[in-house]
Structure 1
Amino acid sequence: MKVKVINRSANELPRYETPSSAGMDVRADLAGAIVLKPLERTLVPTGLYVELPEGYEMQIRPRSGLAIKHGLTLLNTPGTIDADYRGEIKIIVANLSSEPYELKPGERIAQMVVSRFTQVEWEPVQELSQTERGAGGFGHTGK
């Protein structure tokens, strides 16, 4: 599937790092490094603008390496880019660690996954079908 993209950053386009990758790494479009203090968050520009086909969305997700090594995550995860959005993709990065983190220009800060979705039409009813699980949730199947 081809997706139209405008890249106004100095970075290369996002790409799959391995043949079986579901997500493409996204880089920070920064003029200079920024320091993210513990528990601080910031909106990071990417310089990317996309035109997704109808029926598709782009999810922005954290990178596991940044999460485990440095405590960086993304707020509003996964972030959704809708097919009718034409603005710059920006990513809310948060530092959940107890140490400051220096975010550098061109650093891979997130991953994006393009997925098909289905919109639903609600059908109001008075009761739902029965299942073995029923209303059990939040640890219902664990010990």
Structure 2
Amino acid sequence: MASWIPYALLSALFAALTAIFAKIGIKGVDSDLATAIRTVVILLLAWGIALARGATAGLPVLTGRTWLYLVLSGVATGASWLCYFRALKLGPVSKVAPVDKLSVALALLLAVAFLGETISVRGALGAGLILAGTVVLVWA
């Protein structure tokens, strides 16, 4: 098994738990406030891990380009979280989560368009199945 697979599976599990815990915790709370609280927890956790593992030693060698793209990634993540929590506030997890997972198919397309990655027939079929599955779960 490739070394990244266990981490990807854990990511999927934690993402699923995020939706469930958020839906329970967001009752009676503004979705933007809920996102802000969640972000503080993530900030403390991520910096705690980086400090504990000594990863901060790499800070001085980061280039301007690296900083730019990490900041842009953070902005995109923040926008995603704000929209996700608002969607969870307004709709059921069983419909919000599948639409959110369209990000997988969109990431494949964006990787081809902006990173020059190639997509195999299987990859295109998988993206199509994700789209079809989302339509079935949400709108059919």
TM-score w.r.t. the length of structure 2 is 0.21
Structure having the higher strand fraction is: 1
Structure having the higher helix fraction is: 2
TM-score w.r.t. the length of structure 1 is 0.21
